[in-house]
Amino acid sequence: MRFTVAIDGPAAAGKGTVSRAIAERFGFAHLDTGLLYRAVGAKVLAGADPVAAARDLRPEDLEAGDLRTQAVAEAASKVAAIPQVRAALVDFQRSFARREGGAVLDGRDIGTVICPEAEVKLFITASAKERARRRWLELREKGADVTLEQVLAEVEARDARDRERATAPLEIAPDAVVIDTSEMDIEQAVAAAAAHVEQRLKATKEGSET
């Protein structure tokens, strides 16, 4: 069975955590598409051309240990605004999405560009202040010397880049279910997402049996 769950949303809204939990709960494969852009961003920081890095990207590049740094995150946001980079990564993502057994993909343009025909589309969001607070706490745990105000400014700048880029901007698909996690803990967010997936999965299975 091919069944695609497309999960989009801004940085630090919780979509990655929700996506991994949904994939595990339903036995689907999971792809954090942001890692594709982080892997390209890491190569750019090392001196590579962004378009060439995207075209030459290999699955093992997603296993690099430095993809979660703030510098790589900033580089990823910038290379994601390059149309040629996004085009080079489209086939990789679409092939993964339609693999047998089901797949969950999370990113910023999954439901609108990569998988517009996905069986489930979710948009996970939260206020900029709450997302900045979460990211700030993560950075503090890692020993980063950064203020909440600095992180909020970075979150808002990244949101602006993602929304305003010419190619595949961050936007909510017309048929996506919006889940605002500002006042939710992770268990509540996962439960809300799982309910929508379960409903659609049941309808899909019943439809295939008739």
Confidence tier at 142 by pLDDT (50, 70, 90): confident
The helix (run of H) or strand (run of E) holding residue 103 is strand 103-107
Confidence tier at 134 by pLDDT (50, 70, 90): very high
Q: Is 13 annotated as a binding residue?
A: yes
**Does residue 203 fall inside a structural domain?**
no
Q: Render pLDDT for 77-113 as a digit per residue (tens, 0 to 9).
A: 899 889 999 889 998 899 899 999 999 999 999 999 9
Task: Flag whether pLDDT at 63 surpasses 90.
Answer: no
Q: Is 207 annotated as a binding residue?
A: no
Q: Provide the pLDDT for residue 183.
A: 95
**Does residue 202 fall inside a structural domain?**
no
> Angle at the Cα of 128 (from 127 to 133), degrees rounded to 5?
100
Q: Is 12 annotated as a binding residue?
A: yes
Q: Provide the pLDDT for residue 206.
A: 81
Confidence tier at 210 by pLDDT (50, 70, 90): low
Assign residue 23 the CATH number of its domain. Answer: 3.40.50.300
Q: Render pLDDT for 158-195 as a digit per residue (tens, 0 to 9).
A: 899 889 888 788 999 999 999 999 999 999 999 999 99
**Does residue 198 fall inside a structural domain?**
no
For 138, the domain range is 4-191
Q: Is 181 annotated as a binding residue?
A: no
The amino acid present at 87, given as its one-letter code, is A
Number of domains present in the structure of the chain = 1
Q: Is 9 annotated as a binding residue?
A: yes
Q: Is 101 annotated as a binding residue?
A: no
**Does residue 196 fall inside a structural domain?**
no
Distance CA 27, CA 75 (A): 32
Q: Is 202 annotated as a binding residue?
A: no
Local structure of 30: helix, strand or coil:
strand
Local structure of 6: helix, strand or coil:
strand
Burial (CB < 10 A; 0-12, 13-18, 19+), residue 109, is buried
Q: Is 168 annotated as a binding residue?
A: no
Q: Provide the pLDDT for residue 75.
A: 93
Task: Flag whether pLDDT at 204 surpasses 90.
Answer: no
**Does residue 208 fall inside a structural domain?**
no
